[in-house]
């Protein structure tokens, strides 16, 4: 072990903590009696908090590539790490009560931590091999998590669709990586940046980039590999749906930004490519969401459209100073808003029929408030977090010369009001029905914290934006 190895290990302490934690939970789940199985949740929560604190301790570091230039330590990676850890922690809080009746669920938390680790590695990967590793780790665990309700057909169906699409996308990415290796004789990002720029334009580069993008598009549920998102949102256990719609997206958006950053603009027109991807994703997600009578499915499609908004920031990367701050702030706003919205579903024991939300404001006023706040934030109503995110995204797109994309995003935002209002309106206006049962106090607290977070982060955007303003992608 050389000295560089040792400093590199220091950089990976949060990731190693997650790995160790998942092993500990696995052993615990093997030997603990059934009535102790939910103890695994407490261990997982402890590990996540610990990893979070270790990450916070690394915040002041200058941006650098570590582990022999394969792993980035920079603001986007650290933020993604914190967000994914936070998302996972909230998921654990939801899951503890959700899986209460499942006699054998200790190892669920192992899978959850490993899936989080995969998403985190995705955000930091500065080497194509590592990118593949991260994508596969995050996907493979995700398939099992989606199928965790072993008796449920919907859960199984979601997992199968997720798996088939994932196998295709991950395989495509592997092909793309092989092409890129052939072009630049390296898999590390700094070497690729030099090698690809020297190679000039060519159809091989175009295909290679498209294939890698396909793999990442799958992780973030962008067109054309988005179809798993609504199925998972509907069929997977509700806490898993909350996790899978958020964690992988955070990791993949940062990963795609990092990947785009090494491409030679002269060799490949990646900017228009991402712009088209963004446009198609937000439009398709919104239009599909319009017809949903299943609230969870609607949230899944809405998550697809949110991916489209997030991609706007990547289009502006390197052209507008607002691009990275917009991306990072969007990730924060989306993660918190998504956990609040799915949290309401979790607290309502996975209630999915739109009609069952009628009159909810009178039977469950606080939950309705959380739902309304998260929806308004998705729409982009100020002063909620989602508004500042959209403002920055629109600003970045206009600044980068993509005003048409901003106009399209505005049109999409107007359309999106219709489907959010289809849930929000009856919940507030309709006469109350039967008071729906709730899952438990902890899930409710978790949801409440996220809903308050949506408001607070919107009002106190300054510290975040000041932090993100100085962000760079390590290279």
Number of H helices, E strands in the chain: 20, 2
Task: Tell me if 279 contacts another protein by CB under 8 A.
Answer: no
d(CA 212, CA 170): 9
Q: Which of 95, 110, 413, 447 is in the footprint of another protein by CB under 8 A?
A: 413
| 296 and 233 Cβ atoms separated by less than 8 Å | yes
Q: What angle do CA 358, 364, 367 make, to 5 degrees?
A: 100
The alpha carbon dihedral of 26, 124, 398, 267 has a sign of: negative
Task: Tell me if 404 contacts another protein by CB under 8 A.
Answer: no
In the complex, what is the shortest distance from the CB of residue 310 to another protein, in angstroms, rounded to a whole number?
Answer: 18
DSSP state of 34: G
Among the listed residues 254, 196, 239, the one whose alpha carbon sits nearest the alpha carbon of residue 74: 254
User: Among residue numbers 317 through 356, which ones bind another protein (CB under 8 A)?
Assistant: 325
Task: Tell me if 362 contacts another protein by CB under 8 A.
Answer: yes
Among the listed residues 129, 115, 206, the one whose alpha carbon sits nearest the alpha carbon of residue 174: 129
d(CA 419, CA 286): 8
Task: Tell me if 357 contacts another protein by CB under 8 A.
Answer: no
- Which of these segments, 287-295, 299-307, 343-351, 409-417, binds another protein (CB under 8 A)? 409-417
Task: Tell me if 388 contacts another protein by CB under 8 A.
Answer: yes
Task: Tell me if 403 contacts another protein by CB under 8 A.
Answer: yes
DSSP state of 321: T
Our CB check for another protein shows the closer of 113 and 373 to be 373
Task: Tell me if 197 contacts another protein by CB under 8 A.
Answer: no
Task: Tell me if 374 contacts another protein by CB under 8 A.
Answer: no
Structure-block tokens of residue 139: 């996907």
In the complex, what is the shortest distance from the CB of residue 411 to another protein, in angstroms, rounded to a whole number?
Answer: 8
Task: Tell me if 394 contacts another protein by CB under 8 A.
Answer: yes
Task: Tell me if 417 contacts another protein by CB under 8 A.
Answer: yes
Does an H or E element contain 14, and which?
Answer: helix 13-31
For residues 445 to 474, the per-residue mask of contacts with another protein, x marking binding by CB under 8 A and - elsewhere, is ----------------xx--xx--x-----
User: What are residue 439's phi and psi, to 5 degrees?
Assistant: -70, -50
- Which of these segments, 84-92, 157-165, 275-283, 399-407, binds another protein (CB under 8 A)? 399-407
Our CB check for another protein shows the closer of 57 and 460 to be 460
| 44 and 25 Cβ atoms separated by less than 8 Å | yes
| 290 and 419 Cβ atoms separated by less than 8 Å | yes
Our CB check for another protein shows the closer of 329 and 342 to be 329
Among the listed residues 300, 435, 413, the one whose alpha carbon sits nearest the alpha carbon of residue 368: 435
Q: Which of 243, 301, 378, 387 is in the footprint of another protein by CB under 8 A?
A: 387
User: What are residue 248's phi and psi, to 5 degrees?
Assistant: -65, -35
Our CB check for another protein shows the closer of 10 and 321 to be 321
Q: What is the largest CA-CA distance in the chain?
A: 70
Structure-block tokens of residue 344: 């309401």
Size of the site for another protein (CB under 8 A): 35
Q: Which of 59, 418, 445, 472 is in the footprint of another protein by CB under 8 A?
A: 418
Q: Which of 312, 351, 406, 457 is in the footprint of another protein by CB under 8 A?
A: 406
Task: Tell me if 282 contacts another protein by CB under 8 A.
Answer: no
d(CA 135, CA 139): 6
In the complex, what is the shortest distance from the CB of residue 364 to another protein, in angstroms, rounded to a whole number?
Answer: 14
Our CB check for another protein shows the closer of 89 and 361 to be 361
- Which of these segments, 30-38, 113-121, 127-135, 389-397, binds another protein (CB under 8 A)? 389-397
- Which of these segments, 92-100, 127-135, 260-268, 397-405, binds another protein (CB under 8 A)? 397-405
Q: What is the DSSP string of 170-229?
A: HHHHHHHHHHHHHHHS--BHHHHHHHHHHH---HHHHHHHHHHHHHHHHHHT-TTS-THH
Structure-block tokens of residue 52: 């979070």
Our CB check for another protein shows the closer of 200 and 401 to be 401
**Interface positions with another protein (CB under 8 A):** 325, 361-362, 376, 379, 381-383, 387-388, 391-392, 394-395, 398-399, 403, 406-407, 410-411, 413-414, 417-418, 421, 425-426, 428-429, 461-462, 465-466, 469
């Amino acid at each position: 072990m050389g000295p560089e190895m040792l400093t590199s290990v220091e950089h990976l302490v949060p990731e190693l903590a997650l790995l160790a934690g998942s092993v500990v939970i696995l052993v615990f789940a093997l030997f603990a009696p059934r009535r102790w199985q939910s103890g695994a949740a407490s261990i997982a929560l402890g590990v996540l908090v610990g990893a979070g604190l270790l990450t916070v301790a690394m915040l002041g570091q200058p941006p650098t590539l570590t582990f022999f230039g394969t792993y980035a330590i920079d603001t986007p990676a650290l933020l993604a790490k914190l967000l994914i850890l936070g998302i996972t922690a909230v998921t654990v809080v939801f899951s503890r009560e959700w899986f209460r009746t499942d006699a054998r669920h200790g190892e669920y938390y192992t899978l959850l931590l490993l899936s989080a680790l995969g998403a985190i590695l995705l955000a930091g990967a500065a080497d194509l091999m590592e990118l593949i590793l991260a994508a596969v780790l995050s996907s493979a665990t995700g398939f099992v998590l989606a199928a965790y309700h072993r008796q449920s057909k919907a859960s199984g169906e979601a997992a199968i669709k997720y798996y088939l699409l994932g196998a295709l996308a991950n395989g495509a990415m592997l092909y793309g990586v092989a092409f890129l290796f052939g072009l630049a004789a390296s898999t590390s990002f700094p070497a690729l940046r030099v090698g690809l720029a020297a190679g000039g334009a060519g159809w091989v580069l175009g295909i290679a980039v498209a294939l890698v993008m396909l793999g990442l598009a799958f992780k973030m549920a962008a067109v054309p590999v988005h179809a798993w998102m609504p199925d998972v949102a509907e069929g997977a256990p509700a806490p898993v749906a909350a996790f899978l719609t958020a964690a992988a997206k955070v990791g993949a958006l940062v990963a795609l930004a990092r990947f785009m950053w090494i491409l030679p603009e002269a060799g490949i027109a990646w900017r228009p490519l991402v712009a088209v991807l963004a446009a198609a994703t937000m439009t398709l997600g919104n239009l599909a969401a319009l017809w949903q009578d299943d609230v969870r499915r609607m949230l899944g499609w809405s998550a697809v459209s949110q991916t489209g908004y997030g991609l706007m920031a990547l289009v502006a990367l390197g052209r507008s100073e607002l691009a990275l701050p917009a991306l990072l702030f969007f990730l924060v706003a989306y993660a918190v808003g998504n956990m609040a919205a799915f949290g309401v579903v979790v607290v309502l024991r996975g209630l999915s029929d739109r009609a069952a939300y009628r009159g909810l404001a009178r039977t469950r006023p606080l939950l309705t408030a959380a739902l309304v706040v998260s929806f308004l934030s998705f729409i982009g109503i100020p002063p909620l977090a989602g508004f500042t995110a959209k403002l920055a995204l629109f600003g970045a797109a206009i600044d980068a010369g993509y005003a048409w994309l901003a106009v399209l995003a505005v049109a999409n935002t107007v359309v999106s009001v219709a489907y959010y209002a289809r849930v929000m309106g009856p919940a507030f206006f309709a006469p109350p029905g039967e008071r729906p049962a709730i899952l438990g106090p902890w899930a409710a607290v978790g949801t409440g914290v996220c809903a308050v977070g949506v408001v607070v982060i919107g009002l106190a955007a300054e510290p975040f934006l000041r932090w993100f303003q100085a962000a760079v992608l390590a290279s």
